[in-house]
Amino acid sequence: MTAETDTQTTTVYRVTGMTCGHCEGAVSNEISALPGVATVKAVAATGEVTVVSAAPLADEDVRAAVDEAGYEFAGQV
């Protein structure tokens, strides 16, 4: 799911393998390093990661960040 406003884009991704707060932090830190990302909220219980960014992110970039954190990117919700 992607929602755009005049200045920001909010996208929700599904990430599998997260089980705790440490997992949420690892995924959030890697995605936060992508250019244009303002905020990231990962929720292990649902597997959802909400990203607010200046412009839509390429799925490949998000996938690479999630892979770097050690989890599996399952696409947009």
Question: Could you read off the pLDDT of 35-45 as tens digits, one per residue?
Answer: 999 999 999 99
Q: What is the pTM of this model?
A: 0.92
Q: What percent of the chain has pLDDT over 90?
A: 91
Half-sphere exposure of 24 (CA within 13 A, CB side): 15
pLDDT the model gives residue 5: 65
Is the pLDDT confidence value at 54 over 90? yes
Mean pLDDT, residues 31-37 taken together: 98
Residues 46-66, buried b or exposed e (16+ Cβ, 10 A)? ebbbebbbeeebeeeebbebb
Which CATH architecture does the domain made up of 2-76 adopt? 2-Layer Sandwich (3.30)
∠ CA 22-27-28, rounded to 5°: 95
DSSP 8-state symbol, 57 = P
